[in-house]
Amino acid sequence: MTPDALIVGGAGFIGTNLSAALLERGERVRVFDNLSRKGVEANAAWLERTFGSAIEIVVGDVRNVAQVTKAVDGAKSVFHLAAQVAVTTSLDEPVADFDVNARGTLNVLEALRQSRTRPPLVFTSTNKVYGDLEDIALREGPHRYEPQSAAIARAGVSEERRLDFHSPYGCSKGTADQYVLDYARCFDVPALVFRMSCIYGPHQMGNEDQGWVAHFCRAVFDGEGLTIFGDGKQVRDLLYVGDLVDAFLRARGAARRLAGRAFNIGGSVDNSMSVVEVLALIEELTERRPKLRYETWRKSDQRYYVSDTRAFTKETGWRANTRPRDGVSRLLAWLREAQASAHWPRLRAS
């Protein structure tokens, strides 16, 4: 197969949604994934059942240079989503975290640099490259924190924010982020970076370390308790995965023009919610509320992060169109269907 798109980490939550969108457009997709995250085997099987020969699943690891080079060969575009995604895991296993996130990304970049066609690359980074944001003065309300800065309250955190890597995860993703931008500058690889906020939607196997909206929904369905770290008033901007897929497609189309740039991608101010506000929304939609247990703040946890997405909107016309009520409703509907299906045996909350 000569794929229209290679999705590195393509059996994960975001990769599955992106793969499906591309396949529905008639494109041929190669998924490269080591299938290490719980539940992704079910995503890979669903893609194969649904799309047949149009999808190629390659089991491999970004740490293996030969496997990465072979996967990149012939691809017309590349989306690099594979990562170790949890701050907590990075604190326990910092070397493994670096090998996957930093060295793995360098392996992808080298394969692209050495390829004959230099396909465009979209790389998924994280808002954690901005650190804990402790210098942003906040007002504490009854249900959420709000920034005292009128500019941040109006638009969120922009790409002008200085980088400040916290935690091994922040360092490894930040390193990868900067390598992608520098390969665009030094080697003319048409690559750009998405610094992403809270993504949620169908096919998400969330847990308390990553994918917390899905984790909350699953815990409600399973009647299990939840641990809230901090006071629950921390705020994120929620971005429905369908809107992210739209951003990916626009970025790919403009990759040669936007090469070497990083963009903050999230739901923006209009789709920002605190942890307790999300819990209240889930309770309203399901008429269920889990038992909550509160623990101390985790290292490097941001009390307020909302993406200023105006730069990407200006360049591509993209906007986040799905409101949290609609997006969470879709996630809940998918979870109901998934838990009733024999093809999804692992959808118990962690």
The parent domain of residue 47 ranges over: 5-339
Is residue 22 included in any domain, yes or no? yes
Q: Is the pTM of this model over 0.85?
A: yes
Is residue 350 included in any domain, yes or no? no
Give the catalytic positions in this structure.
Answer: 169
Cα(87)–Cα(111) distance, integer angstroms: 28
The 10s digit of each residue's pLDDT in 325-347 is: 999 999 999 998 887 775 554 44
State the burial class of residue 2 (Cβ atoms within 10 Å of its Cβ: 0-12, 13-18, 19+).
Answer: exposed
Cα(18)–Cα(332) distance, integer angstroms: 19
Q: For residue 212, how far is the Cα from the chain centroid? A: 12
- Dihedral, CA of residue 18, residue 26, residue 44 and residue 336, to nearest 10: 70
Cα(335)–Cα(221) distance, integer angstroms: 9
Is residue 186 included in any domain, yes or no? yes
Is residue 345 included in any domain, yes or no? no
| pLDDT at site 39 | 80
How many domains does the chain contain in total?
A: 1
Would residue 151 be called left, alpha or beta, if left means φ above 0 and alpha means ψ between -120 and 50 degrees? alpha
Is residue 344 included in any domain, yes or no? no
| pLDDT at site 343 | 55
- The domain that contains 146 carries what CATH number? 3.40.50.720
Per-residue pLDDT 10s for the chain (350 aa) are 799 999 999 999 999 999 999 999 999 999 999 998 888 999 999 999 999 999 999 999 999 999 999 999 999 999 999 999 888 889 999 999 999 999 999 999 999 999 988 999 999 999 999 999 999 999 999 999 999 999 999 999 999 999 999 889 999 999 999 999 999 999 999 999 999 999 999 999 777 667 899 999 988 888 888 999 999 999 999 999 999 999 999 999 999 999 999 999 999 999 999 999 999 999 999 999 888 999 999 877 899 999 999 999 999 999 999 999 999 999 999 998 887 775 554 444 33
| pLDDT at site 230 | 94
Is residue 160 included in any domain, yes or no? yes
Is residue 348 included in any domain, yes or no? no
Tokens representing 306 are: 């909302």
| pLDDT at site 344 | 56
Is residue 10 included in any domain, yes or no? yes
Which is nearest to 305 in space by CA: 163, 127, 143, 126? 127
| pLDDT at site 209 | 67
